Structure 1
């Protein structure tokens, strides 16, 4: 197909995709909708300057009679989305001006301000900031438009009503988000102070369950399951070694940057919860695996994060992707019924392994970067050797 006046932009678009690391086959898959869109503009006598969201929707709905070797008369959603991406590229180049997004409603403006306050004063991750904003937005219709009218009875009733249609864990997180929102409003004089005390406590036995872990032999099987002849296997092995040796969280892996490693000192800087930074010793095998990844498998990309996606666009891994690496490794290792399938499984296994190797709770807490010793004491439940020393013999039957 002949894209007409859009030909230079199609060439620039495909060049951009190639520079991002897309394969030639994938680039061809994006080039075809772009050329088709240009051909359709010529057929319908629409100028490039007239392209907007309505034009793209018309292109998506048209019954295709354009020249070429296409067999289908209707365009698939995937095909149209690729054409939309090309139109977005045209907007970046300044060739077209797309209609502006609908301005946010007043409630959304207030939520945006609340999220900005969380970033500045609470030190929580961006994922948690987004989640808190979404949860508060869900509660706003029940709370009402005027925060000065909020009272303890209203706040309590809103949470109790949510409890009838939400899970226990979701409700607990929602109370945390609402508590932060009420504190934000009170700090800015937008509501009465102390309303966060009116939020009912969700009952839960803290640290009541046993840590979910797998034996050390199974951890080594999980690490050995990676195919180091492939770039993805080299990356996954480095990720699994860091998780298993240092008990890192998924977010720690996703946010790890190239300058976080001090190769001369053999240490790793980890940015944990609450903007806290810690220096941990970098194990030899984990360090060697990172070097192998940087040398042989990491894509060339202008990205500060160490671990990147293996397919284009080559951007940093998300926390969910890190958890998927663990889940897939468990399947490859033949561990069919693990107690969990995310990164916390290896974190709990690392703590359990340290305790059974003779480490103290203080040492484990330092490696896992716990704020409270009570959190680390959770792992004492699986320290069988220590429990045997303090366990009392069963008295048996006692005569009257």
Structure 2
């Protein structure tokens, strides 16, 4: 496997530096590459340039025999296709054996979201006289008001907030930037936290920072920290749902579409590169419309 390590290392550096991939994304790519390299070693294939369509089919057959989900197989194919595309760019190989391999069709899971009643319970659990309570409420309001990712929330700086016109400047995946509006509820809670709770938290650290959301010691919150905060809020609200930050993003998109927002607008607000990523939420709204119809139409 040593012959494969140098190109693999270069590819990981490319993902981290040029593509600005998250640590999770890099980890998945590395796992897929390692799986592929082990297969090549077992088959006695001593060079990446010796991989052809026949070898690829043999590799995929092995994946299916492992009873991996179609989603996992699709991700592995995409990872290796990107890896070979990189090798082509670096002129280490001439052809990409994964280029014409079709991805297995997979069922699109309908994203989970929160109903208005569940959200109301969450909005009532924080102590707004306490610095941490103000922070927690601000995180909840911002995530629901804007639909931003937890990584984007973690990276918010004071300079990214414009209270005058009610917008956040967000740096998304792949260094893509966008402006996202937020409403009066988020504005009020965020302003209170920044002027009061955040100032108290920052005093504990003793060093100024531009990061908006801070932990109890005054240091910038991590993604894991935000997840823990939301789960504790769910416990206090006595809800039975598992609330990961992405569920608030799903809720934002679903509620926007249910209230009549067009798909292109929601796509832009979410920072999706492709409309197909946003279209999954139309399945939720179709179910909603069907339920309303069945419960409301006299002859349904």
TM-score by length of structure 1 reads 0.61
How far 1:166 sits from its partner (Å)? 6.3
2: CA distance, partners of 1:304 / 1:137: 39
- Looking at structure 1, the residues matched to 168 and 16 of structure 2 have their Cα atoms a distance apart, in angstroms, of 25
Change (3 A) 1:232 1:372: same
- Cα deviation, residue 278, structure 1: 0.8
Which runs of 5 or more residues in structure 2 are unaligned?
Answer: none
Match of 1:367 in 2: 269
Higher relative contact order by CA 8 Å / sep ≥ 6: 1 or 2?
2
Q: Indicate yes or no: 2:245 matched with 1:343.
A: yes
Match of 1:305 among 194, 207, 211: 211
RMSD in angstroms over aligned alpha carbons? Answer: 3.1
Q: Does the aligned pair in 1 maintain the 2:81–2:96 contact within 8 Å?
A: no
Q: Contact (CA 8 Å) 1:111, 1:137: kept in 2 or not?
A: no
In the TM superposition, residue 394 of structure 1 has moved relative to its aligned partner by: 12
Distance 2:49 2:265 in 1: 48
Q: Check 1:322–1:202 CA distance in 2 against 1; reply closer, same or farther (3 A cut).
A: farther
2:259 aligned residue: 357
**1:395/1:195 CA distance change after superposition, 3 Å:** farther
1:296 aligns with 2:197: yes
Question: Is 1:282 the equivalent of 2:182?
Answer: yes
Distance 1:157 1:303, change over 3 A: farther
Offset, 1:280: 1.3
- Is 2:4–2:47's contact at 8 Å kept on the other side of the alignment? no
Q: Confirm whether residue 186 of structure 1 aligns to residue 83 of structure 2.
A: no
Distance 1:284 1:141, change over 3 A: same
Partner Cα separation in structure 2 for residue 348 and residue 215 of structure 1? 11
Q: CA deviation at 1:261?
A: 1.5
- Change in 2 beyond 3 A, CA 1:177/1:244: same
State how 1:1-400 maps to structure 2 within 5 Å. Answer: 107-144=4-41, 145-165=46-66, 167-168=68-69, 169-197=71-99, 199=101, 201-205=103-107, 207=108, 209-294=109-194, 295-297=196-198, 298-299=201-202, 300=205, 301=207, 303-311=209-217, 314-318=219-223, 320-336=224-240, 338=241, 340-381=242-283, 382=285, 384-385=288-289
Q: Which whole-Å CA distance do the structure 2 matches of 1:373 and 1:148 have between them?
A: 35
CA apart distance, 1:113:
0.8
Provide closer, same or farther for how the CA distance between residues 156 and 341 of structure 1 changes in structure 2, counting only shifts above 3 A.
farther
Cα deviation code 1:251-300 (max 9, x no counterpart): 21122223222344432011222321111123233233333333324433
Q: Is the 8 A contact 1:172 1:202 kept in 2?
A: yes
Distance in 1 between the 2:181 and 2:299 partners?
47
Unaligned runs of 5+ in 1: 1-104
Q: Measure how far apart 1:245 and its partner are.
A: 1.1
Aligned to 1:13: none
Measured after TM superposition, the shift of residue 130 of structure 1 is 3.6
Contact 1:143 1:155 in 2 (8 A): no
Q: Is the 8 A contact 2:272 2:278 kept in 1?
A: yes
Task: After TM superposition, give the deviation of residue 143 of structure 1 in Å.
Answer: 2.4
Q: Distance in 2 between matches of 1:394 and 1:234?
A: 47
Report the Cα offset of residue 204 of structure 1. Answer: 0.3
Partner secondary structure for residue 179 of structure 2: strand
